[in-house]
């Protein structure tokens, strides 16, 4: 399935907006962020403005990791850090 550049850019904007609005409170929220980041990487790669290696670096499903380790890997601030900022 191919997407037009306009459609892909709209989808990228929507995914970026959702990523900025998400509040990470539990593991499910973090999984959604990782999934959205993977989606964003794939969309950017499909449009030709992203790096395929960067998209491949986003973790896929596998062994469960500690929530704090995932947040550190994805450069996501914890709820306590966001509230103090």
pLDDT tens for 18-73 read: 999 988 888 888 889 888 988 998 888 888 875 655 555 555 555 555 666 666 66
| Distance in angstroms (rounded) separating the CA atoms of residues 84 and 45 | 35
**Residue 42 pLDDT:** 87
Q: 16 pLDDT exceeds 70? A: yes
Q: 7 pLDDT exceeds 70? A: yes
Domain span holding position 10: 5-84
Q: In whole angstroms, how large is the CA radius of gyration of the chain?
A: 14
Q: For the chain, what is the domain count?
A: 1
Distance in angstroms between the alpha carbons of the first and the last residue of the chain: 42
| Distance in angstroms (rounded) separating the CA atoms of residues 58 and 64 | 14
| Distance in angstroms (rounded) separating the CA atoms of residues 37 and 22 | 12
Spatial CB neighbours of 9, under 8 Å, sequence gap ≥ 6: 47
**Residue 31 pLDDT:** 86
Q: 76 pLDDT exceeds 70? A: no
**Residue 34 pLDDT:** 87
- Does the global pTM surpass 0.75? no
């Amino acid at each position: 399935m191919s997407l037009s550049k306009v459609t892909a850019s709209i989808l990228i904007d929507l995914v970026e907006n959702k990523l900025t609005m998400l509040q990470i409170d539990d593991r499910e929220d973090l999984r959604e962020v990782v999934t959205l980041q993977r989606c964003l990487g794939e969309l950017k790669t499909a449009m030709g403005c992203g790096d395929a290696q960067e998209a491949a670096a986003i973790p896929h499903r596998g062994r469960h990791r500690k929530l704090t380790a995932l947040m550190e890997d994805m450069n996501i601030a914890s709820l306590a850090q966001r509230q103090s900022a």
